[in-house]
């Protein structure tokens, strides 16, 4: 098996594409518009499958907001420097919801940001 993508439903596709490309630095890999079925998909990532998993953004025509529920937690991204990543994200207009610092009960440095639809993204500092 191979991890392919995670799908998120979004209320404004262009706003979300802008966040994931401009603020987080992902690439827009491909889009699919299905007017008869009333939805559009956008696949984004730092690289395409099979090199890395992707984010699939789904926009259902006419739906501007979704309830997230309590089950989904967050997406995690590895970064070289969590503090610097937070600074870049803030400078690009992104929202940092937890500044970089050690995880509770440990030493791994993490931070959290939020996309325009309220999905949480954890930044985990890695020394690759």
Please report the pLDDT score of residue 86 as a whole number.
Answer: 98
In terms of CATH, what superfamily is 5-60?
2,3-Dihydroxybiphenyl 1,2-Dioxygenase, domain 1 (3.10.180.10)
The domain ranges of the chain are 5-60, 75-125
pLDDT tens for the chain, 128 residues long, are 889 999 999 999 999 999 999 999 999 999 999 999 999 999 999 999 989 999 999 999 999 999 999 899 999 999 999 999 999 999 999 999 999 999 999 999 999 999 999 999 999 999 87
Please report the pLDDT score of residue 128 as a whole number.
Answer: 75
* Residue given tokens 């926009």 in the structure block: 59
What architecture does CATH give domain 75-125? Roll (3.10)
Edge to edge, the sheet with strand 54-60 lists 5-9, 54-60, 39-45, 27-34
Topology alike, domains 5-60 and 75-125: yes
Identify whether the C-beta of residue 89 lies closer than 8 Å to the C-beta of residue 113: yes
Please report the pLDDT score of residue 85 as a whole number.
Answer: 98
CA-CA-CA-CA torsion sign (73, 76, 82, 84): negative
Active site residue 64: no
Residues 6+ apart with CB under 8 A from 13: 40, 42, 57, 59
Q: Which of 54, 56, 122, 125 is catalytic?
A: 122
């Amino acid at each position: 098996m191979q991890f392919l993508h995670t799908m998120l439903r979004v209320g404004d596709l262009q706003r979300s594409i802008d966040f994931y490309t401009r603020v987080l630095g992902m690439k827009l890999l491909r889009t699919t518009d299905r007017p008869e079925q009333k939805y559009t998909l956008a696949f984004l990532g730092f690289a395409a499958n099979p090199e890395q998993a992707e984010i699939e953004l789904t926009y259902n025509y006419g739906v501007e907001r979704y309830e997230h529920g309590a089950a989904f937690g967050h997406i995690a991204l590895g970064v070289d420097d969590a503090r610097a990543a937070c600074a870049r994200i803030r400078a690009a207009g992104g929202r940092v919801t937890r500044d970089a610092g050690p995880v509770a009960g440990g030493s791994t440095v993490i931070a959290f940001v939020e996309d325009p639809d309220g999905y949480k993204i954890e930044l985990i500092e890695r020394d690759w």
